[in-house]
Structure 1
Amino acid sequence: MASAYSAYHGAKSSQFTVTALGRWSILTKQLPAVDKVRVLHVYDFDNTLFRTPMPNPTLWTGPTIGLLATQEAFSNGGWWHDNRILAATGEGAEKEEERAWEGWWNEKVADLVKLSTKQPDALCVLLTGRSEHGFGELIKRMVTSKGLEFDMVSLKPRVSPANQSFQNTMHFKQLFFEALMETYQQATEIKVYEDRPRHTKGFRDFFAEYNRRQTEAPTRGPITADVVQVVDSSTLLDPVVEVAEVQHMINQHNTTLTKEPSSKSKLMIKKTVFFTSYMIGGDDIKKLLKLAKIPASVSNNDLKFHANNILICPRPCPTSILEKVGGMGSKMLWEVTGTACFDNSIWAACVRPVPHTAKFHTDNPIPLVVLALRKGARPMDAGKITAWQPVPVEERFSFETTVGEKVILRIEAEDPKEDEYQSLFANKSHKRKHNADEEWAARSVQYAGRNESRGFHSGRGRNKGGNPGRSHRASRGGRGGRGRGGHGYRSLDDVDPKGQSNDAPPGSFGRGRPMGGQPSNGSDLQSYY
């Protein structure tokens, strides 16, 4: 990559003036004179000044998170290039603007911006790699509502004021820094606030090289550079809002491909179902966990706590079984009758329906709740428990469950040959030619109560796989919700221009953890509870 220095100083027409520098900013205010500025303060926007929502790793598979951050995967640029995603923060731009996006700012950095504004010899700059044409007005509204004043608000234009193209966000920011320092040549210090370690290192290396060149062939002399690593403060959108906005982004992408055919594929949201179960609410989970008699010698660090479901079946539930349990969303009451420990590694509670004659279906001979597991233990081995310690009648309690699925969403190319059941599997080798009921019949070992007709389930659900968010129990984001978009997640700063990404192997989009599969017949459900 050509350096910003050579790019600028190799161009004879380059002029470092206050007027020329002002063309980098979306603001119309007059910049201070060169002799008035002694320090330069530059603030990054995403997850430095503003706690920007990232893709929710409890909603999406790792490869899909990588896909969302890959600009060339979507005709509209994906997560970091669709302003609807940023505008959906909190309760949406219209409501949030009225309350200045309260709770979504890094208040310590916002206070530093205010101090920079009050410092008479400081130039205060907001610098972000978001596109000028897509986000300029929105970001200006956001900082204005917060009462933050900048001398410059600079977003990435299509080309620089000198008509230079940008290889990536790092290149854009280096060109900007060069113009800033060459214009304000009497400034003795530049301080940059940045959240991403990769860019922090890149900026430090850039300023070190700049100062080295200034000692050999000075144009303005060395400058004291301080790149401040800001603690990442990213957040999450409300899960329902996030899925809706991603679906809208996909709809726009598909519409564009219909009008302007290209090598890109039409996309759709699909879901991977890990298991179907009677799901247990938060308050009842706490009560159930108290039943686990775990020895004091066992460290909590060696345990995984569950108590959140009674397994109906692994993988998507066949229609015949789903009808027997009353459909998605059906309610049922259960009573705890006993507890047990298997191999000092699995703690579980056995339960029975209320009333006792109610019909049910479970994957185990006796309906049970896995309470806790030692790391490495398999939830399916709880089915081997034969000796249960009865819970005294006066200590028994009842709790309500809701039939639902443990799912995670993924984005894949549309496949006209794929039916609804096949779409539930990310691994194509698991897709079967026969239907789900035939597959279940082939593997099923019948237990008492399994094939009874629906009894005391309330509510009625339908087995429609088209709703990717059905009964999904994701952690909620919302105002101030913390979350990291890890697992191979790439931010705007890591995205190269279309067709120039070096992070993804040929034929793939982005990177991510190898999720999205599902447990096969009799396989270990440990990762999916």
Structure 2
Amino acid sequence: MFTNQETAVNQVKALHVYDFDNTYLVELSVQQEDALTVLLTGRAEHNFAELIKRIVTSQKLAFDMICLKPQAGPNNQKFRSTMHYKQSILEDLVHTYKDADQIRIYEDRPKHTKGFKDFFGMFNRDLQAAGGAALRKPITADVIQVADTVTTLDPVIEASEVQRMINNHNAQTKDKKMLEMKRTVHFTGYLLNPTDTAKLLTLVKTPQNMHESDVKFLSNNILITFGPAPGHILNKIGGIGYKQTWQVTAFGTFENKVWAARVDPVPPISVYHTENNVPFILLAHQRGARPSDANRIQNWQPVSADKQYVIQTTVGEKVQLRVEPETEGESEYDSLFDRNRRNLKRQHSLPSGPQHNHRPYGNDENRRPSGPNGNHKGGNQNRGRGGGGGRGGGNNNNRGGRGGGPGRGGGGNNRGRGGGGQRGYKSLDDVGSGGGRYNGQRGEPNYDDYVPNGDGYNAAFPALGNGSGGLPYGK
């Protein structure tokens, strides 16, 4: 805790650490000579004190008090939760400044807003019940719910800051548990822009008895490959950043749980690639349904002329960064997969029937055989990625090939690409378990992308191949 010299005050104002994005509010409060302005956060003192000092200094703010959560209280008490700690601080403040008749708290989390209101309601009732023995008079408590906005760092700055923290960790570690930042490529696809995403979602008509919150709305890409696409596929379709135009031709649904729009390339002679049966855009699926069931849609319904939307896509990757221990001998290509998910078999189901009959000439509409077996994908029974095929090696192109050998995941019959995802970011005030972007139960990739205030809506990712898109900061 950092404090200025105690003064007589009539008001106490407490702000959460990120609420001073509205610096004008803080400046007005600081200018009030009869107000004590406090920055209150559940961030741990030993980890965040210097950082928060830097933040406050950079904004040229002058709080009367800056309070971070200590490992133990003044009487060596332990705090069972962030809310318990904050309530203890505020209780000490209002007892210290006995003449203050008002406290205003600015909080961005609804749960904490309610917690503060309940706390001061009980606090005042206890004072009233104590009568003449009360330590102070009741206080007017105003708890202001601050708009829950999301701030993202520039992706380059974000990555450099994380790398700096990793470097600091590695410089101080003594047990050789060195960390490094790696990329997880969830899939490569033809990525849509947000305008086309919103337009295509109008095609989805969910059943009347299905609540909208039970549906995940996607409409963000046409799949090329799960994980990073090998160099020969990228070279064939134009590479990362290539623009490809498509036209919506049909709409389909599987069991009223999965919805998709079928598309054809424009012009029709365009060379493209997809690991799906036909090129389609997964529009939405019911929560709990298998997105891959879109491949089981048989009864595609032609769309009317006014729904035959023409969309432009960009070849790109869905990328997330992760932090893992350094792995000796790991190739650059292997590093693209989350080591915790590598052994999960991806069950991207294909329609029933013999697999050798599925798209015998690969997924190129020009139907050109490629490779000795006449299948661009090299046969569906041997999908393992071989050794010596790391990115930047093997076939002398920038991304590398898949090489020979038994393939990833052990054995030629294991598709085993892995591809998991970094767990969603949570507030450091309340670290807890949470699901990632990888469905570990089925081993399926997750098509979701983060959208602030999306209410279940997942828009298109930036059409970039370098992992663009910042993480929510301060959530």
More strand per residue: 1 or 2? 2
C-alpha distance in structure 2 between counterparts of 1:380 and 1:338, whole Å: 18
Q: 1:351 to 1:134 in 2, by over 3 A?
A: closer
Q: 1:193 to 1:326 in 2, by over 3 A?
A: same
Task: Tell me the equivalent position of 1:221.
Answer: 135
Alpha carbons 2:252, 2:297 under 8 Å: kept? yes
Report SS of the residue matched to 2:335: helix
Task: Tell me the equivalent position of 1:317.
Answer: 229
TM-score by length of 1: 0.56
Is residue 287 of structure 1 aligned with residue 204 of structure 2? no
Task: Tell me the equivalent position of 1:58.
Answer: none
**What pairs up with 1:286-435 in 2 under 5 angstroms?**
286-292=198-204, 300-391=212-303, 396-428=308-340, 430=342
Q: 1:353 to 1:157 in 2, by over 3 A?
A: closer
Q: Which of 76, 81, 105 is 2:22 aligned to?
A: 105
Q: 1:403 to 1:269 in 2, by over 3 A?
A: same
Report SS of the residue matched to 1:224: coil
C-alpha distance in structure 2 between counterparts of 1:207 and 1:393, whole Å: 64
Task: Tell me the equivalent position of 1:463.
Answer: 399
Aligned-pair Cα RMSD in Å: 4.9
Query: Which amino acid in structure 2 is aligned with residue 142 of structure 1?
Result: Q
Report the CA distance between 1:134 and its aligned residue.
4.3
Q: Which of 465, 469, 489 is 2:426 aligned to?
A: 489
C-alpha distance in structure 2 between counterparts of 1:245 and 1:139, whole Å: 19
C-alpha distance in structure 1 between counterparts of 2:184 and 2:439, whole Å: 7
Q: Deviations over 1:39-85 (max 9, x none)?
A: 341312424x42xxxxxxxxxxxxxxxxxxxxxxxxxxxxxxxxxxx
C-alpha distance in structure 2 between counterparts of 1:412 and 1:382, whole Å: 34
Report SS of the residue matched to 2:59: helix
**How many residue pairs end up in the alignment?**
377
Q: 1:296 to 1:252 in 2, by over 3 A?
A: closer
Alpha carbons 1:274, 1:314 under 8 Å: kept? yes
C-alpha distance in structure 2 between counterparts of 1:326 and 1:180, whole Å: 66
Query: Which amino acid in structure 2 is aligned with residue 490 of structure 1?
Result: S
Report the CA distance between 1:515 and its aligned residue.
1.2
C-alpha distance in structure 1 between counterparts of 2:51 and 2:15, whole Å: 17
Task: Tell me the equivalent position of 2:15.
Answer: 44
Task: Tell me the equivalent position of 2:363.
Answer: 450
Q: Deviations over 1:472-511 (max 9, x none)?
A: xxxxxxxxxxxxxx967233x55xxxxxxxxxxxxxxx53
Report the CA distance between 1:402 and its aligned residue.
1.2
Alpha carbons 1:328, 1:462 under 8 Å: kept? no
Task: Tell me the equivalent position of 1:231.
Answer: 145
Q: 1:190 to 1:487 in 2, by over 3 A?
A: farther
Task: Tell me the equivalent position of 2:56.
Answer: 139
Report SS of the residue matched to 2:12: strand
Q: 1:347 to 1:134 in 2, by over 3 A?
A: closer
Q: Deviations over 1:327-348 (max 9, x none)?
A: 2222212222223333333333
Q: 1:189 to 1:447 in 2, by over 3 A?
A: farther
Report the CA distance between 1:25 and its aligned residue.
2.6
Report SS of the residue matched to 1:371: strand
Is residue 124 of structure 1 aligned with residue 40 of structure 2? no
Report the CA distance between 1:313 and its aligned residue.
2.3
Query: Which amino acid in structure 2 is aligned with residue 402 of structure 1?
Result: T
C-alpha distance in structure 1 between counterparts of 2:280 and 2:69, whole Å: 59
C-alpha distance in structure 1 between counterparts of 2:248 and 2:193, whole Å: 15
Is residue 244 of structure 1 aligned with residue 181 of structure 2? no
C-alpha distance in structure 2 between counterparts of 1:299 and 1:127, whole Å: 41
C-alpha distance in structure 2 between counterparts of 1:105 and 1:390, whole Å: 51
C-alpha distance in structure 1 between counterparts of 2:443 and 2:2, whole Å: 60
Report SS of the residue matched to 1:307: coil
Report SS of the residue matched to 2:150: coil
Q: Deviations over 1:128-161 (max 9, x none)?
A: 34766544464255365xxxx86x243559999x
C-alpha distance in structure 1 between counterparts of 2:95 and 2:245, whole Å: 69
Percent identity over the alignment?
Answer: 26
Task: Tell me the equivalent position of 2:387.
Answer: none
Task: Tell me the equivalent position of 2:66.
Answer: 154
C-alpha distance in structure 1 between counterparts of 2:194 and 2:311, whole Å: 11
More helix per residue: 1 or 2? 1
C-alpha distance in structure 2 between counterparts of 1:352 and 1:255, whole Å: 50
5+ long unaligned stretches in structure 1: 1-22, 51-103, 433-442, 455-460, 466-485, 495-509
Alpha carbons 1:273, 1:518 under 8 Å: kept? no
Task: Tell me the equivalent position of 1:25.
Answer: 3
C-alpha distance in structure 2 between counterparts of 1:192 and 1:519, whole Å: 44
C-alpha distance in structure 1 between counterparts of 2:101 and 2:120, whole Å: 16
C-alpha distance in structure 1 between counterparts of 2:93 and 2:441, whole Å: 58
C-alpha distance in structure 2 between counterparts of 1:394 and 1:178, whole Å: 66
TM-score by length of 2: 0.61
C-alpha distance in structure 2 between counterparts of 1:171 and 1:341, whole Å: 51
Q: 1:385 to 1:334 in 2, by over 3 A?
A: same
Q: 1:31 to 1:316 in 2, by over 3 A?
A: same
Q: Which of 159, 177, 182 is 1:265 aligned to?
A: 177
Alpha carbons 1:359, 1:449 under 8 Å: kept? no
C-alpha distance in structure 2 between counterparts of 1:519 and 1:159, whole Å: 35
Q: 1:392 to 1:235 in 2, by over 3 A?
A: closer
